[in-house]
A = this chain, B = another copy of it.
Amino acid sequence: METTWQEQLRTVGLRVTRPRLSVLQVLAERPHADVDTIVTAARALHPTLSPQAVYGVLEALVAGGLARRIEPAGAPALFELRVGDNHHHLVCRSCGAVADVDCTVGAAPCLTPSDTAGFVVDEAEVVFWGLCRACRVGTPGVTAQVLQHDNRGGAHV
């Protein structure tokens, strides 16, 4: 497992270090973790790890294409290892839980806007807002990530 990560790091020109391996392992276990979560969890593997180091590691991983940053409105950035595939995210308005959605891009004319207003588009980012099952049945806050997302008025599907 770590061998693979070592190879992946080297492949993109990054040195293999304890902080990087720790962060990669945490991300493998927690698919949509924020920096704080990563720092806390990674310290089990590398006790002296600093938040700034994690920012640096994540920046390197994202730049190298090994990780992806997602930034739901009103919440700190989240990171995931799933890269290179066209997938999007479901975000719970109540607890901030995030789930992956495979992009149905093959049948998605909306991802090629009719009028691009002179823009050259290279990426379409889709976020589905709603409530996760736990928050609907009255057990909010399971993931302990509370979002305050009052931004209504978007596309109601």
Contacts and interface: CB of A to CB of B under 8 A. Distances in A.
Nearest to A112: B157
A152 to B, nearest CB: 7
Secondary structure at chain A's binding surface: helix, strand, loop or mixed?
A: mixed
A54 to B, nearest CB: 16
A11 to B, nearest CB: 16
Contact of A68 (B121, B131, B132, B151): B151
A154 B86 contact: yes
A111 interface: yes
A154 to B, nearest CB: 5
Interface in A46-72: 59, 62-63, 65, 68-71
A120 B124 contact: no
Q: Range of interface residues on chain A? A: 35 or more
Interface string A101-137: 1111101111111111111111111111111110010
27 contacts: A62-B150, A62-B151, A63-B150, A65-B152, A68-B153, A69-B150, A86-B155, A88-B113, A88-B155, A90-B116, A90-B119, A101-B116, A103-B110, A104-B110, A104-B114, A107-B110, A108-B110, A110-B110, A110-B126, A112-B157, A118-B132, A119-B133, A120-B136, A121-B157, A123-B157, A125-B155, A126-B126
